Structure 1
């Protein structure tokens, strides 16, 4: 084996290990964090806020990413088992679902940015658009429109027989049409990374501008709606942290995919191909942090969110202590009852023996 082949093998081994660790970290952090998100955003202090509706919708789709996509990717990465190669219909549905669910979670965060701008606007009509009714309607519309924009994938993804380098013929769930393959790459970058990120940045800047103008107009010592303004600022901080993570994690993978697309006709040696494939796989897994770290960003940046988390933890601890106390009392009562029964039995036996004698 030549030194180049050894280097390529080492790169492939290291890539497999790094990807497995990143997937595992995403899975553990995601399950814990998203579970807390559901409990927090359904608390009375936050569930009446339109922005929380978008956070909650994004959380549910992130759950699908963490519980469905990541385990299948782990199996494929570690054991080279691709379930999509066993059934043609499942092949189509899997890639279709994997693409649009990840895009939806980012679009809901973009909608939350728009909601914060509407909420901070000086226009009464725009402020009225920031409501629970509009938020629920927007979630329903986006949940329908985004899958429709990806539905053409069902037609072009198929099970194809592929001959491997070892000479074995196997099935693979891929796109045969090279033109459509290029199109779906650009299309997904636009819908998943570019468009939501641009909307987040634009409406984030507009929201900050509205808040600054609002502070100049309204004196700081006014007590009216102080709690509402504080909640809005906290939600904006949480939203900004999540937007930053989404832009960083998805942009890196998007830049690589554009690079791979523009250099697809460039002649490359095996070592360069191996290095680029390793970089592409690692950056692709990096994008999953946009779906698993929202809870930790919210906890770091939002004091209201932290308070609700501590309340949930405190209630769980109190519930456990009450269960232990109740169990102890019941055990004590049962022991006392058994003792009384045994005492009564002994007394009855003594009385019976005295009568007999």
Structure 2
């Protein structure tokens, strides 16, 4: 092997190791703190009674679980302390917990998008389907289906593997292909497509509602009673909350597409080309890209709090202020 290739391989491997060692710590800290704050804030009474906020709350729990089960081991692997690479049952348990959490987080956001569409519909039958009871049902069904989808991990994943992107990975080509395909299609592509479809439908409904409100405000400027004024004020506050929650959701969907789709495509590519003979330099580069795309998915799990704080407007920021006053400033 030429000395230039040897130097390049060492450089790529060193970059991959440093990314896992240091970038993982940054994502872990910001993601863990952000999701914990999300859980506390979204648990407040003014937000937890909203079905969309409930989906955000459970999704934040799933995101926190994904970070703890996935990033903890990646940080340790940078210091050669990752026991999931050598202990078989830990490898299986970690992989199952990670895939379950990721799938649940993705599907819960999909349900939140569908809930926003239901609430924006003119038909009262659809609006009445947006309830906490249905939100709890959707959450339970999501966890159940996610468990069924990835229970095969206990058979497929194995520790101490070589010539694979990770030492804890699918033990056969068939296992890797099925797992990668289900992850790419069911955890990433399917919920993303549903989110985009229902997101666009919600935008269309919101525009229609704004037009109706504008017309009603012009025709209804004549004197009204105090009770109708109070009722309209409450409805306006509720609609403002609903619009703001949808905006928060829409921003999160866009960023999730950017951060998760590359890893889904990369996993499929590595599995489909695993039978081809690769040079050591190509393998080193592919491992670097794999690690980079994988860490990008953890950014997606750690970013919701910062998205909500930026895009949530006064509603979310007021909830943060209430939290600070309640627990810090007494």
Bucket of the pairwise TM-score, normalised by the shorter protein: 0.7 to 0.9
* Residue-by-residue CA offset, 1:92-132 (whole Å, 9 max, x unaligned): 22211221111111111111001100111112111111011
1:232 corresponds to 2:227: no
**Separation in 1, partners of 2:283, 2:22:** 23
How much does 1:296 deviate? 0.3
**Separation in 1, partners of 2:128, 2:135:** 11
1:283 corresponds to 2:293: yes
How much does 1:279 deviate? 1.0
How much does 1:180 deviate? 2.1
How much does 1:160 deviate? 5.9
**Separation in 1, partners of 2:139, 2:161:** 40
Does 129-138 or 265-274 show the bigger shift? 265-274
Q: 2:188 aligns with which of 178, 185, 193?
A: 193
Partner residue of 1:150? 150
Of structures 1 and 2, the larger Rg is shown by 1
* Residue-by-residue CA offset, 1:172-222 (whole Å, 9 max, x unaligned): 544332122211111111122111111111111111011112222332637
Query: How many positions carry a matched residue from both structures?
Result: 311
Partner residue of 1:72? 73
Q: Secondary structure at the match of 1:129?
A: coil
Partner residue of 1:330? none
Change in CA separation of 1:286 and 1:234 when aligned onto 2, cut-off 3 Å: same
Does 28-37 or 46-55 show the bigger shift? 28-37
Partner residue of 2:62? 61
**Separation in 1, partners of 2:64, 2:163:** 36
Partner residue of 1:40? 41
**Separation in 1, partners of 2:162, 2:45:** 55
Which runs of structure 2 are paired with 1:152-301 in the superposition (5 Å)? 152-159=152-159, 173-219=168-214, 221=217, 224=232, 225-301=235-311
Preserved CA contact (<8 Å) 2:177 2:268: no
* Residue-by-residue CA offset, 1:119-151 (whole Å, 9 max, x unaligned): 111121111110111101111111111111111
Q: Secondary structure at the match of 1:79?
A: coil
How much does 1:267 deviate? 4.0
Does 183-192 or 172-181 show the bigger shift? 172-181
* Residue-by-residue CA offset, 1:225-270 (whole Å, 9 max, x unaligned): 1111100111011111111121111012122223334433444322
Structure 1 gaps of 5+ residues are: 165-171, 320-357
**Separation in 1, partners of 2:69, 2:322:** 30
Preserved CA contact (<8 Å) 2:69 2:97: no
Does 151-160 or 40-49 show the bigger shift? 151-160
Q: Secondary structure at the match of 1:264?
A: coil
Does 88-97 or 120-129 show the bigger shift? 88-97
* Residue-by-residue CA offset, 1:21-74 (whole Å, 9 max, x unaligned): 321111111122112111211122211100011001011111212233211111
Q: Secondary structure at the match of 1:122?
A: coil
How much does 1:16 deviate? 1.5
**Separation in 2, partners of 1:132, 1:293:** 25
What is the Cα-based RMSD across aligned positions, in Å? Answer: 2.2
**Separation in 2, partners of 1:93, 1:276:** 26
TM-score normalised by length of structure 2: 0.87
Preserved CA contact (<8 Å) 2:183 2:264: no
Structure 2 gaps of 5+ residues are: 221-228
